[in-house]
Amino acid sequence: METIRCLILGSGPAGYTAAIYAGRAGLAPVLYEGLQPGGQLTTTTEIENFPGYPDGIDANEMMEDLAHQAKRFGAEFRSSIAIKVNLEQMPYTVTFDDGSEVSCHTLIIATGATAKYLGLADEEKYRGLGVSACATCDGFFYRKKTVAVVGGGDTACEEATYLSGLASKVYLIVRKPYLRASKAMQDRVLSNPKIEVLFETNTVGLFGSEGVEGAHLVHKKGTAEETVSDIAIDGFFLAIGHKPNSEIFKPWVHTDEIGYIITEGATSKTNVPGVFAAGDVADPHYRQAITAAGSGCKAAMDAERYLSENGL
């Protein structure tokens, strides 16, 4: 079986940056790109908040730049998806969907997180054309426009509050008759004149010719008081949570109750020696390209030190 010194799973900013640093350190990293080469970022159109691109840059172009940089330093890229790992003893083994299997001395988990969607066909239809799961990433494009945020927890309230600083109006669409957010966050939302909360409301569709122009809503769905209505919006933001792509690692790696991998202090170290986590799979708070890239750097440096200290 092939044994790899530094194996990286995931190809977003965290995985690619880890590959750049590991490559420059002479670790001959092998990176498996997984289901979505380039990561979640490739579902965004333009990136304006990544340092070094004063005029913004197409998301796919930026990820291609990172990939080319990693390859320049000797990183090898493969396209299979990891479906099983065994972290019981060194070297660790990883099995992929094409039936191949490799072993590794260090493993960097950069598999990201997947945004939860409502499951509407229109969400896919308008993805990148008005539908987003990241207000911090895309809110800037909706300055002085009308947007809607779906969700009733802290994340949704934070996104709505953030967007209210940019947009002219924000609808917060809440399925339940109350907000699940903390009291302080609820007060902030309910007292914001730019935010209109639509309680007991479900989104059943989106409409627009070349992008999102509005949403079809149902109020008090399934009751005698059920009513339907449309609202005019320019952007539709999902804030109903993310699912970290950590399932196959859970038998060995510690995670929180949602599934985010827990790392030690300010490092990328997991509870398993030689296994490190970077990017959104270990970040329930920020979920930004720049923070993911920074954590990828840390993971590669931690891996290099581990290999050196253990004579590998």
Q: Which amino acid is at 40?
A: Q
CATH number, domain 121-238, options 3.40.50.150, 3.30.565.10, 3.50.50.60, 3.40.109.10: 3.50.50.60
Asked if CATH classification 3.50.50.60 holds for the domain at 2-115+242-309, the reply, yes or no, is: yes
The reply to whether 121-238 shares the fold of 2-115+242-309 is yes
**Is residue 209's pLDDT more than 90?**
yes
Residue spans of beta strands (DSSP E) within 128-251:
131-132, 146-150, 169-173, 195-198, 201-207, 214-219, 227-232, 235-238, 242-244
Q: What is the mean pLDDT of residues 127-154?
A: 92
Domain ranges of the chain: 2-115+242-309, 121-238
Q: Model confidence at 155, in pLDDT bands (50, 70, 90)?
A: confident
Give the β-pairing of 57-58 and 76-78: unpaired
- Which of 59, 78, 81 lies closest to 70 in space, CA to CA? 78
Tell me the pLDDT tens digit for each residue of 51-78.
999 998 988 899 999 999 999 999 999 9
The per-residue pLDDT for 230 is 97
For residues 257 and 243, is the Cβ–Cβ distance under 8 A? no
Q: What is the DSSP letter of 269?
A: B
Give the β-pairing of 242-244 and 57-58: unpaired
Residues 6+ apart with CB under 8 A from 263: 269, 270, 276, 277, 282
Lowest mean pLDDT among 151-160, 168-177, 194-203: 151-160
**Is residue 44's pLDDT more than 70?**
no
Catalytic center residues: 134, 137-138
Rounded distance, CA 307 to CA 296, Å? 17
Does the model's pTM come out above 0.85?
no
